[in-house]
Amino acid sequence: MNKYLDLSPEVAEALAGGKPVVALESTIISHGMPYPQNVETALLVEKTIRDGGAVPATIAIIGGRLKAGLTPAEIEYLGKKGRAVAKASRRDLPVLVARGDDGATTVTTTMIIAALAGIKVFATGGIGGVHRGAETTMDISADLEELAMTPVMVICAGAKSILDLGLTLEYLETKGVPVIGYGTEELPAFYTRRSGFKVDYRVDTPEELAAAFRAKMEMGLRGGMLVTNPIPEEYSMDPAVINAAIDEAVAECNARGIKGKDTTPFLLARIKDITGGDSLSANIQLVLSNARLAAATAAALRIRV
């Protein structure tokens, strides 16, 4: 095992016994939601995974240690500390570890640490992607590069709808990342079920997802797999409402000159305010939906590591 990595006893036992384990990110705790909803949601997501027959492994960096599996006290710590915790991408890991600092893991770093631990399935809200205007800013999320390199299945509600979804799909195609729609042929757009863009393949059961990922690994193909699971119909937001809120938030972000890794937290917070909290409720429900699918898929995969 990597000398910088700590597994919780529950996660270590599950992995040793070939039991299904699902990785979870921690940026959603420290940067994605306000306290105490962030902690309540994180614990509810873990319960949802346990109810689905799998073991949750919330991932973070605490005191310079890469953690796969957090205690409730550690989740509370991250939730209360909030944005004072560094938002950690691949480039940040060496410095945070060397300094003994804390870090909230993005999709990228959650994939890295999950792969180090031997965890193959990861549930999140939405991935990063190609930002609007990237043809001039070159603002492209490291999540896309990680999906091209790291052998973890990422189950999400699509790319965040604050992004350029068409260019995000093109980038993933170039990198050879399979984009699979769960029960849909259309890429979901995080808050809404439809985007107007087609995914590569439609799959309708967790068993099919597990079979596809198993085949990818057995062939020795590099990189991960992206599964896009639409937000449940009853929680899907009106596209006109959410798109207007996104446009307003993006305009304000540009006017303030906010760039880089501060962009997404700012936009999500502003969209929550503009929609009167409706976007936060939708965010919570889509994460829970992804957790249920991830638990079922991890159980179907049953890979001993």
pLDDT in tens, 78-119: 999 999 999 999 999 999 999 999 999 999 999 999 999 999
Residue with tokens 């999320």: 141
The Cα 87–Cα 67 span in angstroms is: 15
Q: In the prediction, which pLDDT does 305 show?
A: 35
259-292 confidence digits (pLDDT tens): 776 777 787 778 878 877 777 888 899 999 999 9
pLDDT bracket for residue 134 (50, 70, 90): low
49-62 confidence digits (pLDDT tens): 999 999 999 999 99
**Is 25 annotated as catalytic?**
yes
Residue with tokens 């690994």: 217
Q: How many CA atoms lie within 13 A of 85 on its CB side?
A: 30
Contact 11, 59 (CB under 8 A): no
Q: Which residue is catalytic, options 87, 160, 261, 272?
A: 160
Map out the domains of the chain with their CATH numbers: 1-119 (3.40.1790.10), 125-300 (3.40.1790.10)
Average pLDDT over residues 118-144: 86
The Cα 60–Cα 256 span in angstroms is: 30
pLDDT bracket for residue 1 (50, 70, 90): low
Peptide bond into 36 cis (omega under 30): yes
Q: What is the DSSP string of the chain?
A: --TTEEE-HHHHHHHHTT--EEEE-SHIIIIIS-TTHHHHHHHHHHHHHHHTT-EEEEEEEETTEEEES--HHHHHHHHHHGGGSEEE-GGGHHHHHHHT--EEE-HHHHHHHHHHHT--EEE-S-B--BBTTHHHH--B-HHHHHHHHS--EEEESSB-TTB-HHHHHHHHHHTT--EEEES-SB--BTTBS--S-B-SEEE-SHHHHHHHHHHHHHTT--S-EEEE-PPPGGGPPPHHHHHHHHHHHHHHHHHHT--GGGHHHHHHHHHHHHTTTHHHHHHHHHHHHHHHHHHHHHHHH----
Q: Which residue is catalytic, options 25, 74, 76, 146?
A: 25
**Is 3 annotated as catalytic?**
no
Q: In the prediction, which pLDDT does 60 show?
A: 98
Average pLDDT over the chain, rounded to an integer: 92
Residue with tokens 């399935």: 121
Name the β-bridge partners of 59.
Answer: 68
Q: Is the pLDDT of residue 137 over 70?
A: no
